[in-house]
Every structure is written in C-alpha cells, then in structure tokens.
Structure 1
Amino acid sequence: MYLIRHSFTVIVFFLLSAEVVFAQGSRLQPIPNVYLDCTSCDVNYIRTNITFVNYVRDQDDASIYLRINDQRTAGGGREFILIFSELRVQDARSDTLRYVSSSTDSHDERRIGLNRFIKIGLVPFVSNTVAINSLNVIYDEPADRDPDEDEIDDPWDNWVFDVDVRSNMWGQEGEFNFGLYSGFEAERTTHTWKIRSRVRGEIRRRNVELTDRT
C-alpha cells in the first residue's frame, strides 16, 4: 500500500466585459408650481416677467414654496430675504438668497433687481424640468475684469478615470485559493451627452492537493 499525491491548479474563469453608455439625460419633469408668499411684492409684475414656472394660489398645489421677507436697511435701502423650499419630495431642496437694493433705487429698479434674484433662485429647482429647454444664461462681464486672466484649462478634456484592483487569499489544509479582481472605468460628461466605458476582469486560482490511497 502506498500513497500518491496529486497537485493541480484550476483556473475558474477570466472575464472581460466592456460597456459604453450614451445618455441625453433623465426624463424631464413638468414645469413646477410655485406658491409665492410675499406681502410687499408686486406679484403681478413677478408673474408677468417670470414665466418659466406656474403660479398657484393654494400652497397644497405647489411643488415650490417661495417666501420673501423684506426690511429697511440702515442706509435707507431695502433688504430682501428669499427662501426657496421644495415641497412633498424626499431630500427636499432649500435655498436662501439675499438681495439689497440701494437707497437711490427707484421702485422699478428695485422690483427688477428682486426679479433677477427670484430667477436665479428658481434655476436649481427647474433644472430637471422641461423649462430648462427654454432657459438661457446671460453673463454681464464686469468692466474691471483683468483681460489677461487665464481661462481654466482642463488637460483631461472632461474625462474622469477610475482604476480598481483587489485581491484575496484563503485556504485550509490541502487547499489554497487566490482571487484577483480588477476594473477600469472611463467617463466623460458634457452638458449635452455622457459616455461611460467599463472593463472588468476577474481571475480565480485554486490549488488542491489530493491524496490517493491504493
């Protein structure tokens, strides 16, 4: 009677997969309903000049609650506190903006300035709605801006790369196992489209020592 020992290696599998995803963005939501709570505002002027949202008279019908408080400043101007609150959604958004008008501003200049801040505050709340398709951003460059100021240069051209490598080992008497897992992901996002490419691999190695008795 004698013993014969066998040692062999089993490669379980090696897998590579690649995926490319193009996206135009998630489905846009309807135009939101705004409940405006401001006793001193020119409500008709706001509704007439800010038309990328709907206005409702009942707070229960609103998806955005806008509260505007105002008070006179020490310099004779007006300070407006704009509180934007999202209603009836999980992880509701809430923002606060502050607008201060000059003591020399006319009534028309003051309401134009207030409307500008209302528009700015509403943009984050409509960015995932159909209203975004009709909005434009206009930037008035300050006259004192340095013309030699360098623009931001992105050498990666909006590409983001992620590399993941993991391994593990385990075993017991007469058996040894080894696993290697790796992945590579490249993603590029612009305001109009998104591309994502993934490559994933996995190797498992198993050494087993068998004892034959004859």
Structure 2
Amino acid sequence: MRLAPAIAPRWLPASAAPRRSGGPVHALPVAAFLLLGLGPAPLPAQQPAADARPDIFLDCEGDLCDPDYFRTEIPWVNWVRQRQDADVHLIMTSEETGGGGRVYRIDLLGTADAGYEDRLVHTAQATDTDRETLDGIAHTIGIGLLRFASESGFGQLVEFVEMGGAEADPAARVVSGTEVEDPWNFWVFSLRGTPRITGEKTRSVRRVNLNASASRVTPDWKSSISIWTVMIRTEIDLPDGDVYLDDFRAYGTDHFLGYSLADHWSVGVQSQVRTHRRLNQEVRAQISPALEYSFFPYEEATRRALTVLYQLGPSYQRYNEETIYAETSEVRWKHLMEAELSQRQPWGNTSLTLSGSSYLHDSELRRLSLSGNAVLRITRGLEIRGDGRIAWVQDQIYLSAKGLTEAEALLNIKERAQSFNYTLGITLAVNFGSIYNNVVNNRMQLGPLSFN
C-alpha cells in the first residue's frame, strides 16, 4: 500500500514558479515542512550568494544508481565530481525486502565543519517498474536536498506547491508490514524460466534455467525455500572433424529459516539437497544450524556492518565415481566460522570477509579464504579501487580417483586437485578538470568500433 505525499516539491526558481489561473498558488514555506519534525539539526547561519546553488556529490553503485536520471530530475543543484568540492555528500544504499521489493536509504552528510547529517528512506514494491522506482528515489533525494537547502540558506531556489485537498496528510508514508492485514501472511512466491541459446558455426550452447521459490520476511522471522534445475547442452566442432557433445543437468533445493533472537543476535538453520557434477557428487544433502552476532545494530547494515557467523552440521555425499579416499558415499560433519566487515563512508567503501572451515573427523581437511573489495578516495581526484580473493584449499574429499580427461580439464567440467586459488584486481583512477557534473546529453551513444 502506498500513500501519496500531501505536498510535492517543484524544482523551479522561485521567480519562475507558475501561477494557476483559477486562484493563487498555496506556496508553503520550506520552514513549514521542517516543522513536521522531519528535518535535521540546523546549520550555523551563513547565507550563500542569492544566485548560489548547493553543490552535491552523488555516491551510489549497483541497483538503479542512475546519475543521469537524478541530474535530469533535480536540476536546481550543482552535481560535482569530487566530494571535496561538495556541500553535501549524498550516499545511497539499498537492500532487498521480504516481499521482493527494495529499500533505498539516502544519507546526506555535510562536508563542512558543522557536521550536517540527514537520512531518508524510499521503499520500492516488487511490482514497481524501474521508472516508478527511479521517480520515487528522485523524489526522496529531492526532499532531502530541500531540507538541506532550507537549513543552509538556499531556500530561495524552490517553493512547495500544495497538491490534493485539505484532507491530505503531511505525515503520509509507506505503511509497514506489521500495520496491514495481509491475506498472504507475508509470503511471496516466484516462478521463473530462462531458455537461452548462443552459438556460431562451429559451436552452440543451449541452456534452460527453471526456478520456483517462496519466501517470508517479518521483523522476527525470515524464511525461504527454492527448487531449481539447470540443463545445458554444448556442441563443439573439433578441427579433426569430430564433434564434442556434453549434456549437463543439475537439480537442487535450498531452504533457510532464521529468527531474530535479540538486538545483536540471530539464529537460523540452512539446508540443501542438490547434484554437483563438477564436485563428483551425484547427491549432496546438508543441514547446518547457524548463530550470528552483529557488533552494530542490524538497522545500520547498509552503511556499516561487522558480523561473526558460526555453522555446524552434517552432510551426506553419494559420488558419481569413487573418490581418492576410496569412498562411494559418506556422511561427514563440518563446521564453519565467518567474519564480515563492510562499510560505506565519505572516504570510500570497503568490504572484507574472512572464512574458515574444517571437517570434524579430520581437522587437516580444512579451507581458509579471505576476500574483499574497496574503493578509497585518497585525495581530490585520486581514487583506488581493488577487489580480490584468496583461498587455501585442503578439503577436496570428493575428487575422483579416475582423474580427468583432457576435455574435462580444458572445459572445467570437473574440479582438479589444488592447494590454493586467487584473484586480484586493482584500478587507479585520476580525475581532474571541471568540478561540475550537471549536463546530461544522451545523443549518439555509440559503442566501440568493430573490426570484424
């Protein structure tokens, strides 16, 4: 259920505000909006020039981060390319809701010594189109920027125009799940099918993905179940005239149930049944109870999070081929501990995950992995991006005693014995020139030249 706001901002200079022929515009001072109790603490009085605009640095990545759209819809501010040139650092993060929608959190951080801070939230429903979601995000960002503009002396740039009748509620908002009667009891169901064909004269790949899932999320409980299958047929014409043919099929079901045990504690159980040809597993069934502790409140997870997770449980494997340990099937207990740190701050974004696991029957069969990514703003115009992962592997109890054929090794059909694996990437970016980023020009968006 979505309620319309009682007032809507007009992104217009006050001098150019339209007038209705049927009567005067009900212009609402920005201060009246702030009296609703929604605004942050005021900044010290320092009036900018009459024709000045606030400088905004947009910091967002991932789902529906569309700077061009926001610049087009909110043209009454200056969008700058460097945080050091901004009056406000605008950080947008998001996370999925239980109903398949998404919550977008907009944080506005003043870059001056006064320490301006504000947060707004937009909730997009699962049925919203990208345009509807972008409109909602832009509207929410606009409201936040209006608050800042009013507090810091830019209020002359905009005015509010009343929409709706006298019964409109200025405190209207999206109603939370606990405040509605839901005939589905918060369950969300999804059915998906994805056929895909790619090929050329000497090679073709046909793939079909099928998935059915159900999930339910409340403030206390979180549960999900999914059933899936993947079918892939690969045909390759070899230089000697032979044809390589591979038919791959995989099936599985995944389940999860979690409970909010306390402010910083969560408990749950995860289970899975699946096939996995690459790991020589005809059938794998596993159940793992889990306990998690969060050092920060869960509500802050989109901006900062530090969690420690522990899992312990048995798994049953029936193998396609006898393993290097002379097993055709076995039950083994395994435990895992994982620590994850992530944050999004004015100086950049970081995420780091450390994970270790081992089998209980033999502690020498273990795995340790470290992964992370970071975006660090060193100074004005200088940014370093990096991501990487390294794992030390000593737990491949599933390897086939027969080994691999040349084709299986080249096409990565079966996993080979290894002691470690890694990936690493670093990008150094230097930007300089005009500080402004207001212009949007969508003409002639050409791709790279092709010489085929």
In 1, Cα distance between equivalents of 2:54 and 2:106 = 18
Cα shift at 1:131: 4.3
In 1, Cα distance between equivalents of 2:59 and 2:46 = 31
Cα shift at 1:50: 0.4
Asked if structure 2 preserves the Cα contact closer than 8 Å seen for 1:34 and 1:56, the reply is: yes
Query: What residue is the counterpart of 1:133 in the other structure?
Result: 156
Q: Point out where structure 1 has 5 or more consecutive residues left out of the alignment.
A: 1-24, 147-214
Asked if structure 2 preserves the Cα contact closer than 8 Å seen for 1:53 and 1:131, the reply is: no
In 2, Cα distance between equivalents of 1:113 and 1:104 = 13
Asked if structure 2 preserves the Cα contact closer than 8 Å seen for 1:80 and 1:99, the reply is: yes
Residues 1:109 and 2:132 aligned together:
yes
- Give the aligned CA root-mean-square deviation in angstroms: 2.5
Query: What residue is the counterpart of 1:64 in the other structure?
Result: 88
Counterparts of 1:1-214 in structure 2 under 5 Å?
27-29=47-49, 30-40=52-62, 41-90=65-114, 92-127=115-150, 131-141=154-164
Cα shift at 1:103: 1.0
The AA in structure 2 aligned to 1:83 is: D
Cα shift at 1:54: 0.6
In 1, Cα distance between equivalents of 2:167 and 2:136 = 21
User: Equivalent residue of 2:133, what SS?
Assistant: helix
User: Equivalent residue of 1:138, what SS?
Assistant: strand
In 2, Cα distance between equivalents of 1:49 and 1:43 = 10
| CA gap 1:145/1:94 in 2 versus in 1, 3 angstroms | closer
In 2, Cα distance between equivalents of 1:115 and 1:75 = 22
Asked if structure 1 preserves the Cα contact closer than 8 Å seen for 2:91 and 2:108, the reply is: yes
Cα shift at 1:62: 1.1
User: Equivalent residue of 2:145, what SS?
Assistant: helix
User: Equivalent residue of 1:96, what SS?
Assistant: strand
The AA in structure 1 aligned to 2:121 is: R
The AA in structure 2 aligned to 1:31 is: R
Asked if structure 2 preserves the Cα contact closer than 8 Å seen for 1:31 and 1:129, the reply is: no
Cα shift at 1:72: 1.4
Deviations 1:67-103 (A, max 9, x none): 000121110111101100111233x210111110111
Runs of 4+ in 1 over 4 A off after TM superposition: 128-131, 142-146
User: Equivalent residue of 1:127, what SS?
Assistant: helix
Identity value in percent: 30
The AA in structure 1 aligned to 2:144 is: G
TM-score (norm 1): 0.51
The AA in structure 2 aligned to 1:34 is: I
User: Equivalent residue of 2:138, what SS?
Assistant: helix
| CA gap 1:67/1:127 in 2 versus in 1, 3 angstroms | same
The AA in structure 2 aligned to 1:132 is: G
| CA gap 1:27/1:88 in 2 versus in 1, 3 angstroms | closer
| CA gap 1:27/1:108 in 2 versus in 1, 3 angstroms | same
| CA gap 1:145/1:115 in 2 versus in 1, 3 angstroms | closer
In 2, Cα distance between equivalents of 1:134 and 1:120 = 13
Query: What residue is the counterpart of 2:370 in the other structure?
Result: none
Q: Point out where structure 2 has 5 or more consecutive residues left out of the alignment.
A: 1-44, 170-452
